[in-house]
Amino acid sequence: MLKQIRAEFLKLRKSSGFLTIAVVMLVIAGFMSRLYMSAADPVTGYEAFKRAITTVELQILFVGIFAAVFICDEFQNRTIGASVYGGNGRLSVVIAKLVAFFSGVLVVAAVFLAIIIITLSIVNGFGEELTTSTTLWLCQAVFLYLLGCVAMASFSAMISYIAKSVLETAIFCIGLTYGVVFVAMRGPENIGKLTFIWHMAKIQNLAGTSGMFLSVAVFLATILVTGYAAYAVFKRTDLK
Amino acid sequence: MRETVFGAYGLTKRYRKTVALDCVDMAVKKSDIYGFIGENGAGKTTLIRILSGLAMKTSGEISLNGESAEREVARQRQRVGFIVETPAAYPYMTAAENLEVQRLQRGIPGKSCIERSLKATGLSDVGKKKARDFSLGMKQRLGLAMALLSEPEFLVLDEPVNGLDPTGIVEFREILKKLNKERGVTILISSHLLSELYMLATCFGFIHKGKLLEQISVAELDERCKKHLAIKVDDPGKAVFLLENKLLIKRFEAMPNKTIKVYERLGESALISRELILGGVMVEDMTTKGDDLEAYYMRLIGGNSNA
């Protein structure tokens, strides 16, 4: 498994698709910082953080396209086969791919957040005293935000293993995730609460409360269920 | 008796209503170069894809290096080099980077294997050229470099010379012969170029419409394909006496069905026939027989399929 994970990290580092998406996300982070800076009311680093962790739609776009490029490309190039006949079980192949994919998502999401907070903190100050409780809240919010991104990535990975085509995956990932957004936000709240999107959108309210445990449970359940579904599909797939 | 490196036992693969492999029993012995022959859609690639783990079997069993449990077969694949159809490479990586990915996936220690494989396949000079800019021939070479990376004991090659120029084909053949001779590497190779296969293989498997028709060694094939006069007579004993003493023919073979195969003086069938008749032997039939691999294959499948 470890050797396969190392190979996946090499693919991630060399993937021009990943590098392009990462650069685009960083440009967007810079653009958002510029927008916050030009707002009538000065947006502090703390306020910018609260806004940035709820940019769910942007994360959906980023994760959906990244999944299509990083996972489906392997099916379209037929390079996925080499992982299988290289002596690795299909479970190892899926886990290694998910580990590298989640890592890529985490790095980009974290850097995206950091750019906005640091830029706004330099220009308008952080705007909040860093007490123990504030620091704790920040840590909890960052943890929920990153875990939410991984849950979203796992959902997109599952779609990738089902669709196997870059274009279809990008369309389905974005379409289905927006479908989940619709259910989460417009549907009955008790159903919405079971979706990772609902919890991502409510991070700033849930962090630091007992509600965050449900968020963690929903995120973890999403990762496990969709990750297993991706494996179950891949296990039965005849590869080209 | 040599050990079986790869075995298929009642191997069957169905795609909905189509039977791609129908209860195939097959054995590739250690150090053999096994030429796998069949027309398009006969089931060659399907069998190789099951062997490589790319496709799932519907029923039956396969064994690799004596292991048949699924997990063990997956582990044994580390000792096998594969080229399945057109080799797949990461288009945004160079040849060396593609090999590095393979090296990591297979857990091969040290990076010297990369340089060695590039050199062995004539790709040492490609430098920083990305795989997406490779010609088909270069991609084939890269595929072979990937397959050779782990110094495998068993090579499985599906149409490996597609896209290679004549020089490339000769070089490729020499590499395989060298690997087989010097390191005892077992090779399973499918190709449409039967003349090329004949120069390389030590045994052959013929597959047609998902069924393995026959497995024979090159010696058996030569024997069956050898040009000869097949003479059917009423009295084989008398005919043998006349062939030996009257016509001074030494190379012949008496078959159980009253047929004698004569392997010399093939251009003198009229003379042979006359001497036999004059000696009191009734000649019921006399024909010249013998095939090359292509003709033998066509005769075996009984048609004009696209081999």
Q: Does the structure show a pLDDT above 90 at B277?
A: yes
Q: Which residues of A touch B128 (CB under 8 A)?
A: none
Residue B303: predicted pLDDT: 58
- Closest of A111, A109, A160, A143 to residue A219, by C-alpha: A143
The answer to whether residues B238 and B290 touch, using CB atoms and an 8 Å cutoff, is no
Q: Does the structure show a pLDDT above 80 at B302?
A: no
CA pair distance A68, A167, nearest whole angstrom: 7
Strand order in the sheet with B283-289: B252-254, B259-262, B228-233, B283-289
Q: Residues in chain A, how many?
A: 240
Rounded average pLDDT over B250-268? 86
A127 CA: distance to closest CA in chain B (Å): 45
Q: Choose the closest CB to A238 out of B56, B91, B102.
A: B56
CA pair distance B130, B89, nearest whole angstrom: 10
Q: Sketch the domain layout of chain A as residue ranges.
A: 2-235
Q: How many CB pairs under 8 A join A and B?
A: 80
Query: CB–CB of B52 and A84 under 8 A?
Result: yes
CA pair distance B190, B47, nearest whole angstrom: 11
- What tokens were used for A93? 């192949």
Q: How far apart are the first and last CA of chain A?
A: 23
User: Phi-psi region for residue B258, left (φ > 0), alpha (ψ -120 to 50) or beta?
Assistant: left
Query: In a 10 Å sphere around its CB, with 0-12 CB exposed, 13-18 middle and 19+ buried, how is residue B257 labelled?
Result: exposed
Cα–Cα distances (Å) from A23 to A28, A31, A72, B101, B307, in that order, read: 9, 12, 20, 24, 51
B1 pLDDT band, cuts 50/70/90, is: low
Work out the percent of chain B whose per-residue pLDDT is above 90: 42
A159 CA: distance to closest CA in chain B (Å): 20
- pLDDT tens digit sequence for B260-275: 988 888 888 899 999 9
B139 CA: distance to closest CA in chain A (Å): 13
Cα–Cα distances (Å) from A225 to A200, A203, B226, B264, B265, in that order, read: 18, 22, 64, 75, 77
- Closest of B133, B125, B79 to residue B106, by C-alpha: B79
- Closest of B50, B185, B142, B102 to residue A88, by C-alpha: B102
Q: Which residues 77-96 of A have a C-beta within 8 angstroms of B? A: 77-79, 81-89
Residue B27: predicted pLDDT: 93
For B70, the closest chain A residue by CA position comes to A89
Cα–Cα distances (Å) from A240 to A75, A80, A179, B233, B259, in that order, read: 8, 9, 31, 56, 50
- Cβ neighbour number for residue B57 with a 10 Å cutoff: 20
For B98, the closest chain A residue by CA position comes to A11
- Computed over every residue of chain A, the mean pLDDT equals 88
CA pair distance A100, A94, nearest whole angstrom: 10
Radius of gyration of chain B from its Cα atoms, rounded to whole angstroms: 24
Q: Choose the closest CB to B106 out of A77, A78, A87.
A: A87
Which residues contact residue B217 at a Cβ distance below 8 angstroms, ignoring those fewer than 6 apart? B202, B203, B204
Query: CB–CB of A87 and B101 under 8 A?
Result: no
- pLDDT tens digit sequence for B127-143: 889 999 988 888 888 98
- pTM score of the predicted model: 0.81
Q: What is the DSSP letter of B55?
A: S
Query: CB–CB of B71 and A89 under 8 A?
Result: yes
CA pair distance A66, B148, nearest whole angstrom: 32
Of A183-197, B15-29, B214-228, the range with the lowest mean pLDDT is A183-197
The answer to whether residues B128 and B110 touch, using CB atoms and an 8 Å cutoff, is no
Q: Does the structure show a pLDDT above 90 at B159?
A: no
Residues of chain A with pLDDT under 50: none
Pairing relationship of beta strands B228-233 and B283-289 according to DSSP bridges: antiparallel
Residue B17: predicted pLDDT: 84
A75 CA: distance to closest CA in chain B (Å): 10
- Closest of A178, A223, A212, A214 to residue A197, by C-alpha: A178
Sign of the dihedral through C-alpha B251, B254, B255, B261:
positive
B192 pLDDT band, cuts 50/70/90, is: confident
∠ CA(B116), CA(B121), CA(B123), 5° rounding? Answer: 85
Within its chain, how far is the Cα of A144 from the centroid?
Answer: 11
